[in-house]
Each structure stands twice: as structure tokens, then as C-alpha cells.
């Protein structure tokens, strides 16, 4: 990993084990590096699965494999390859995925469709099957590892391991949820983020789990952006082993369903924020809230227009209260807006209203706010009840440096 992001948490959280989940890591050596780059997670029989995948029209064969397998609802293992995205690799890429699934299915005596696979890294290089199979052989006999090792192994340009925890009560039974995620650049998912994996011991029907994950995704992973670029490989998968012993959830009307959905949403939000805080070259975490839009969807598009604006992001990096750049980003979004109803704030300070700067406003508190690491921008369009919040980071020269050297 490169130099740790200044926005990183002080430490990796203490995450509980999840009954029915065993993780192992190994060196497949997909790149010329001295680190583990293959993560193998065994899941107990009867594990339910749900997932969301990239909106890219050029997805990897791993994404296509997961899309076909998710509706079947069951999972026995997860394999994550780091350093090679295996995207835009034609029939050789698909053959590599099939070979991995077949090898793990043979090892576990299950169906290949029960094996979920992700790869992340350089696009356009076929995943070497010999390295993948050797890595799996090593993983099969490796000692089980903790969540931090698994989170570190799935990373590429990440500067720190990312994990989070939530819990819920279903009836009188406490269920645990743990998530690990990787992502730093090429983050504008509109579905999920780069690669994220959620594990819970709750008993829940896969269709209900899918309903909950899709809803949580809409409010979290689909509301983050680092650089406006959507990956070919973005995937978030949720696995539920059923080992907590709760009465199985089959409907949102079941007791405890609301609590579990809330915990899942909280976990996804934590993971989404960790990705933004590790944005390539980032020094500021930025929350952009839009209200008063004609619809929630319109507010979301306007918020993303602001969040993806290089002019806004560089102004924040330079700690410059240039609210005119926010106006420009609103105007270019292609959504209903009225200049003379528009209000803008930085932090708690209103800086513009009614089509012009607030008369006599004091820029000192705004300047002080922008010197911090957590930045808030608020917009009120004054048109309706639509609202949305998205999260992004600033844009610094560090982003250029990291991506200019990405393949070396």
C-alpha cells in the first residue's frame, strides 16, 4: 500500500467472526509484488446471497458470472483476485472465471454457480489461469485469517484496509453484520463501489436480502464518487449464513426485518464513506446535500454534478470558498433550477441566496471550515421537495501521480 490517506481512520475496527464464514488469503503473484493477492472465503451450506453490479456496458466476465449466479440465491465460496481486473479479455477471461469456479466447486463438492468471483486491477490483461489455480491450492491449505488480512488482500491502490460492523435484533436473537471493501479510484459506481463483501449470520430469504441490499445501495454506494469514472468490475455481494438461529426473515412484515434492513443500510454507509476517505490523492471528505429539487432523482443528479466538477473539487483542495463554481455545476446538470431561488451554504454559513451573494456575509468561518478535513456544501433549489446527499473528495495532484504510474 502507498502512503496512508490523511482521512483514514486511526485503526482497523475490531470485527467479530461470522459463524459459517472462513476466510483465507494466499499469494497468486498476479503482479510483481510481495503480498497476498488472492482471497478465498468458504461459506457454510445453505448460505443465501444477494448482489449489485456495475452499470458499465463493458463489464468483466466476473461481473457477468455473478449476475447469472445471484438469482439462484445460494453461495458456498467467494474468490477475489487483486492486481488483474480480467476485463476486456475476450474468451480467455471467461475461461479463467470458469476454471476458478470449477476448481473451487470440485474442492467443496458443490455447483460452480455457488462460487462467486471478483477480480480488480489492470484492465485488458487476461487473468493467468496457472497463477489463479496455484493461488487457490495455497489458499485451500492456508490457516484461516482475520478480517483485516482479508480486507488488505482485496486492495489495489487502497492506502488502508477497510472494514465495518453493525448488528441488529431479530426477535430475541442478536445478529451480526461485517463488511470489507476496496476502492480508491475509478469510483462513480451508480450501483455499488469497486469490490465490497458483506457477511451476516442472520437467516434471511435471498430475495428479501436482495430487496434490502438494493435499497441500501441506492442510498449509499450509488451516492459516492471520487473521479466520475465507473469501473468494469464494481460488485457488492451480501452473504447470509443463517447460523445466528433467528426465525428466518422472509418478508419486510416479519418482526426484526426493519431492524436488519437498518443495520444493513448503516453498514453500507460506513463502507461507502471509507472508500471516499481513501480517494486517490484525497485530503478532504466532502458531503454535498441538495434539497428543494423537483424530485429526489433530480436532486441526486444535481448533487453528483457538483461532486464530479473538477472546478469544485480543486477549489476545495485549495480551501477556496468559490461558490460560483457550485452555481456552474448546478446549471450544467440539465435539471430544473432557478437562479433567483437558489441558496448555497458552506458548512453552516449561507453564502448565496436569491441569485447573488448574501450581503455582508463573513467569509472567515467559511475559510475556517474549508481548512478542516470534513467539508459540507448545502444547496436549496427552492422548487420542490426533492432531496439527496452524495459524498466525494477533493482533487489534488496526488490523483494524477497515482494514476500516471498505475500499470508500473
How many C-beta atoms lie closer than 10 Å to residue 408's C-beta? 5
Cell digits of residue 306: 457538483
Q: Are 74 and 237 in contact (CB under 8 A)?
A: no
Cell digits of residue 313: 473539487
Q: How far, in Å, CA of 78 to CA of 20, rounded?
A: 13
- The annotation status of 131 as a binding-site residue, yes or no, is no
- The annotation status of 193 as a binding-site residue, yes or no, is yes
- The annotation status of 156 as a binding-site residue, yes or no, is yes
Q: Are 181 and 147 in contact (CB under 8 A)?
A: no
Q: Are 181 and 82 in contact (CB under 8 A)?
A: no
Is residue 120 flagged as an active site residue? no
Q: Are 61 and 97 in contact (CB under 8 A)?
A: yes
Q: Are 239 and 201 in contact (CB under 8 A)?
A: no
Task: Please name every residue paired with 42 in a beta bridge, in sequence order, or none if there are none.
Answer: 22, 77
The three-point CA angle 257-261-266 to 5° equals 150
Which of 120, 157, 193, 241 is labelled catalytic?
Answer: 193
Task: Please name every residue paired with 350 in a beta bridge, in sequence order, or none if there are none.
Answer: 345
Backbone angles phi, psi at 122, to 5 degrees: -70, 135
**Would you give the DSSP letter of residue 164?**
E
SS3 22: strand
Among 266, 383, 378, which Cα is nearest to 335's? 383
Q: How far, in Å, CA of 70 to CA of 93, rounded?
A: 20
Got the DSSP string for 300-367? HHHHHHHHT-HHHHHHHHTT---HHHHHHHHHTT-S---GGG-EEEETTEEEEETTEEPTT--SHHHH
In sequence order, the 6+-apart residues with CB closer than 8 A to the CB of 223 are: 272, 300, 303, 388, 389, 390, 391
- The annotation status of 47 as a binding-site residue, yes or no, is no
- The annotation status of 403 as a binding-site residue, yes or no, is yes
Q: Are 261 and 215 in contact (CB under 8 A)?
A: yes
- The annotation status of 53 as a binding-site residue, yes or no, is no
Annotated binding site for substrate: 156, 182, 193, 280, 403, 408
| Active site amino acids | 193
Amino acid at each position: 500500500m502507498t502512503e496512508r490517506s490523511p482521512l483514514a481512520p486511526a485503526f482497523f475496527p475490531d470485527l467479530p467472526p461470522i459463524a459459517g464464514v472462513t476466510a483465507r488469503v494466499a499469494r497468486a503473484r498476479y503482479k510483481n509484488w510481495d503480498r497476498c493477492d488472492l482471497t478465498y472465503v468458504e461459506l457454510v451450506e445453505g448460505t443465501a446471497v444477494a448482489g449489485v453490479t456495475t452499470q458499465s456496458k463493458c463489464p468483466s466476465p466476473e461481473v457477468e458470472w455473478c449476475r447469472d449466479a445471484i438469482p439462484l440465491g445460494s453461495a458456498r465460496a467467494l474468490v477475489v483476485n487483486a492486481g488483474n481486473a480480467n476485463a476486456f479479455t475476450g474468451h480467455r477471461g471467461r475461461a479463467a472465471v470458469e476454471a476458478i469456479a470449477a476448481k473451487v466447486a470440485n474442492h467443496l463438492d458443490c455447483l460452480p454457480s455457488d462460487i462467486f468471483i471478483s477480480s480488480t486491477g489492470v484492465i485488458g490483461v487476461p487473468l493467468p489461469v496457472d497463477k489463479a489455480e496455484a493461488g487457490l491450492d495455497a489458499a485451500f491449505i492456508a490457516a484461516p485469517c482475520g478480517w483485516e488480512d482479508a480486507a488488505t488482500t482485496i486492495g489495489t491502490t487502497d492506502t488502508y484496509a477497510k472494514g465495518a460492523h453493525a448488528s441488529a435484533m431479530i426477535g430475541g436473537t442478536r445478529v451480526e453484520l461485517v463488511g470489507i471493501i476496496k476502492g480508491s479510484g475509478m469510483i462513480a459506481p451508480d450501483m455499488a463501489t469497486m469490490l465490497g463483501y458483506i457477511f451476516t449470520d442472520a437467516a434471511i430469504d435471498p430475495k428479501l436480502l436482495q430487496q434490502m441490499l438494493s435499497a441500501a445501495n441506492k442510498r449509499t454506494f450509488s451516492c459516492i464518487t471520487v473521479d466520475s469514472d465507473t469501473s468494469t468490475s464494481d460488485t457488492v455481494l451480501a452473504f447470509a449464513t443463517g447460523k445466528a438461529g433467528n426465525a428466518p426473515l422472509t418478508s419486510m412484515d416479519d418482526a426484526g426485518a426493519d431492524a436488519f434492513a437498518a443495520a444493513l443500510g448503516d453498514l453500507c454507509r460506513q463502507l461507502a464513506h471509507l472508500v471516499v476517505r481513501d480517494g486517490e490523492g484525497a485530503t478532504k471528505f466532502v458531503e454535498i446535500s441538495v434539497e428543494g429539487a423537483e424530485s429526489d432523482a433530480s436532486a441526486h443528479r444535481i448533487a453528483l454534478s457538483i461532486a464530479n466538477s473538477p472546478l469544485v473539487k480543486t477549489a476545495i483542495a485549495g480551501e477556496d470558498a468559490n461558490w460560483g463554481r457550485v452555481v456552474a455545476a448546478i446549471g450544467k446538470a440539465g435539471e430544473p433550477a432557478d437562479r433567483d431561488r437558489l441558496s448555497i451554504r458552506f458548512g453552516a454559513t449561507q453564502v448565496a441566496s436569491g441569485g447573488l451573494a448574501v450581503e455582508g456575509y463573513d467569509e472567515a468561518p467559511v475559510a475556517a471550515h474549508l481548512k478542516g478535513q470534513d467539508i459540507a456544501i448545502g444547496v436549496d433549489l427552492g422548487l420542490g421537495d426533492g432531496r439527496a446527499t452524495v459524498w466525494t473528495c477533493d482533487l489534488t495532484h496526488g490523483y494524477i501521480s497515482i494514476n500516471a504510474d498505475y500499470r508500473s
